A and B are shown apart, each in its own frame.
Chain A
């Protein structure tokens, strides 16, 4: 290792271990946060079942992937999961729509339903969904990524650039970022430009006036669940390809997702995405061990002896909460001026 200051290698190190993973994780959170935002805006409750719904969608992806590989229906180089996502979305949509029909609709059709009722009901749906997933696929962690593992590996990067530090781009990371951009663009286009999307916004803005304009609330609710199913399944599958699947892990994803939504501004789709990246970068930056990075940047005499890790990775969920508390204290409306929490009731 050189003893001079080496900015390029320091930057390569940062890119490989912080920037790319954080962008990838942030994209996965953003899709989940967008789903929570849609449910919040249109159905007016915070969906506690989001994490477990992602587990449900991913479970279908895993089962279908296994089936496809068994049958030999694979395209070399491409993760099989990618091929089965559309079918998994349909499966998740059917599940979410059934839950809506069985649970949420019952409360929605009552006179003056309270938001908190739906929140508590969604906690029930969360436990049922989580249980169902564990029952069907088991509680153990699983990996289901096949195909080419890297777009380019550390070794290839080093050989190409001659740098001491390499940068790798995993297929799952590349897919995550590309698909997230496309999906977010689609959702925004849908909400801003299509008649159905505008009807969803109108219903979210003023339910009674939407009804008076002839907008069918049942259809708005159905389309919302369809979009949520797509976002949920894709977010879950991408997270699983990147980091592996386990029901417990997905259940806990609810925490950073809720933090993203609140930090960004409740009810604001753009805020949800901004919040997701704020949370992901905070998590990765605060749990990264900076020893090597500092060795590149500091003269020999100042090289650190410790790992220079601010917070242990086991505390990463606490980071979401600290950010959450700070935002609620300083700017309760979130970055993008969403609704304040007490508007819930």
Chain B
């Protein structure tokens, strides 16, 4: 059994069905990527895993324990962290306060984790007293990532972390994600830049209309002619 598993998830927004028995899983120290066309339900998978949307059937397990009935907050306290695609910082708070809020549930000393975040993103240390709304898109993305790291999670869920950033910043963000994975975290990421994401992924899911269309290692999917033709532009 994998560290975090979503099995046969079925979910709907009101009466509109989004997910049809969709399954994903990720191990510690592994990077899993979910790709697929718009409206395939990629972000919905994350919302269900986090308990922000209730699944009508299927289960979510963490370390083999069923967490399907737990609230978002309880799942956060068990080690899940989420970086939403947009609105992922507290705009009128400083960079440092954003990080502090990430560590809200912790009662131990957070200085060390904060140092780690600053080591990963030195620019954030320089701008720690600035308001998040004054930062560039890429820097904001780093704040969002840093905030999630402050909970010291065992699983990191990322919703399109490279949306709207330049290619250079995208490479930087991907390299940060690999660092986090190598440190032993389980990372599950939804990505629009399918080619680049699958390149670095240990495992990939191609989602179409809320169903698992293709599953395999990143390399397998990139080399699969059907996936190439349909989703990677030939």
Interface residues on A, range: 10 to 19
Tell whether A119 is near chain B: CB-to-CB under 8 Å. no
A198 interface neighbour in B91, B97, B105, B151, Cβ under 8 Å:
B97
Alpha-carbon distance between A210 and B52 when the two chains are bound, in angstroms: 13
Alpha-carbon distance between A71 and B88 when the two chains are bound, in angstroms: 58
A213 near B89 with CB under 8 A, answer no
A195 near B104 with CB under 8 A, answer yes
Alpha-carbon distance between A212 and B83 when the two chains are bound, in angstroms: 9
B87 near A213 with CB under 8 A, answer no
Per-residue B-contact encoding for A231-266, CB less than 8 Å = 1, 0 else = 000000000000000000000000000000000000
Alpha-carbon distance between A208 and B90 when the two chains are bound, in angstroms: 10
A212 near B90 with CB under 8 A, answer no
Per-residue A-contact encoding for B149-164, CB less than 8 Å = 1, 0 else = 0010000000000000
Task: Give A203-222 interface residues, CB cut-off 8 Å to B.
Answer: 205-206, 208-216
A205 near B76 with CB under 8 A, answer no
Per-residue B-contact encoding for A116-145, CB less than 8 Å = 1, 0 else = 000000000000000000000000000000
A202 interface neighbour in B50, B72, B87, B90, Cβ under 8 Å:
B90
Alpha-carbon distance between A214 and B79 when the two chains are bound, in angstroms: 11
Which residue of chain B has its CB nearest to the CB of A210? B101
Per-residue A-contact encoding for B59-84, CB less than 8 Å = 1, 0 else = 00000000000001100110001101
Alpha-carbon distance between A215 and B104 when the two chains are bound, in angstroms: 7
Alpha-carbon distance between A186 and B114 when the two chains are bound, in angstroms: 28
Knowing A205-B93, A206-B91 touch, does A213 contact B102 (C-beta < 8 A)?
Answer: yes
Tell whether B181 is near chain A: CB-to-CB under 8 Å. no
Which residue of chain A has its CB nearest to the CB of B103? A213
Knowing A195-B104, A198-B93, A199-B101 touch, does A214 contact B87 (C-beta < 8 A)?
Answer: no
Alpha-carbon distance between A214 and B105 when the two chains are bound, in angstroms: 6
A213 near B88 with CB under 8 A, answer no
B97 near A212 with CB under 8 A, answer no
State the Cβ distance, A268 to closest chain B Cβ, in Å: 10
B91 near A213 with CB under 8 A, answer no
A201 interface neighbour in B81, B92, B105, Cβ under 8 Å:
B92
Residues in B neighbouring A209, C-beta threshold 8 A: 84, 87-90, 147
Tell whether B100 is near chain A: CB-to-CB under 8 Å. yes
B97 near A216 with CB under 8 A, answer no
19 A-B Cβ contacts within 8 A? A195-B100, A198-B100, A198-B101, A199-B101, A201-B97, A202-B101, A205-B90, A205-B91, A208-B52, A208-B84, A209-B84, A209-B88, A209-B89, A210-B90, A212-B84, A213-B101, A213-B151, A214-B104, A216-B73
